Structure 1
Amino acid sequence: MMNIKPSAAIRKNYNEISELCKRSGEPVYLTKNGEGDLVVMDIETFARRESMLRLRENLVAAEEGRLNGKPGYSIDEVSAMMKAAVREVLDGQRK
């Protein structure tokens, strides 16, 4: 579900918006004069999204390298990289 609030809500209801972000794990979209203006999310959600983006970037780079003839990785190497990525995301959730 998309959470949308007017921008004035951040000044008036900071604690409520903060709690909504933390409870839902979703961003809150703020509007100004009826138009999209800002997106607010709690730091854990932000960190988790950043970790997932880095993982995706690394996977795309590896696939591009493979398609361009670069040497690949063994199953054990890929398994170790995936475990490290999962640990990074889980550690970000615990903070």
Structure 2
Amino acid sequence: MKYSTQVKPISYLKSNAAEVIKELSESREPMLITQNGEAKLVVMDVRSYEEHQETLAMLKLLALGKQQLENGEYRDAEDVFSELDSKDDL
């Protein structure tokens, strides 16, 4: 994704808010907003934001799992399944 095609000054956002909302909802591409020539924020539609948050959560889980493996904090699958089977018998 190239942010260079979606760079707008804050004045554009102020004067064209409805158009920006429509454009972002349709394209699902984030828009970079500048103030005094500096990048200040990224605007995106809610669906894209939610998907982004879900992706970050998944990546955090994978990183945590990798760290636990490296630290030896795991159990063999056979042990886990046999423990689950024994709980079903209760």
TM-score (norm 1): 0.71
In the TM superposition, residue 42 of structure 1 has moved relative to its aligned partner by 0.7
Identity of aligned residues (%): 27
Moved segments of 4+, more than 4 Å: none
Q: Counterparts of 1:31 and 1:73 in 2: how far apart (Å)?
A: 52
Cα drift, residue 30 of structure 1: 0.5
Residue 20 of structure 1, CA deviation: 1.8
> Who is 2:68 aligned against?
65
1:44 CA displacement: 0.6
Structure 2, unpaired ranges of 5+: 78-90
Structure 1 unpaired stretches of 5+:
75-95
Shift of 1:71: 1.2
> 1:25 Cα deviation (Å)?
1.3
Residue by residue, what CA displacement relative to the aligned partner does 1:4-61 show, whole Å, maximum 9, x if unpaired? 0010111110111112211221210011111111111111111000000000000000
Matched length: 74
CA gap of 1:73–1:4, structure 2 versus 1, over 3 A, is: farther
Q: 1:72 to 1:59 in 2, by over 3 A?
A: farther
Say which is worse superposed, 32-41 or 50-59, in terms of deviation. Answer: 32-41
**RMSD across aligned positions (CA):** 1.5
Q: Which residue of 1 aligns with 2:38?
A: 35
- The SS at the match of 2:23 is helix
Larger RCO (alpha carbons 8 Å, 6+ apart): 1
Structure 1 or 2, whichever has the larger Rg, is 2
Q: Does structure 2 retain, via aligned residues, the 8 Å contact 1:66–1:72? A: no
Of the three residues 45, 51, 54, the one matched with 1:51 is 54
Question: What amino acid is aligned across from residue 32 of structure 1 in structure 2?
Answer: Q
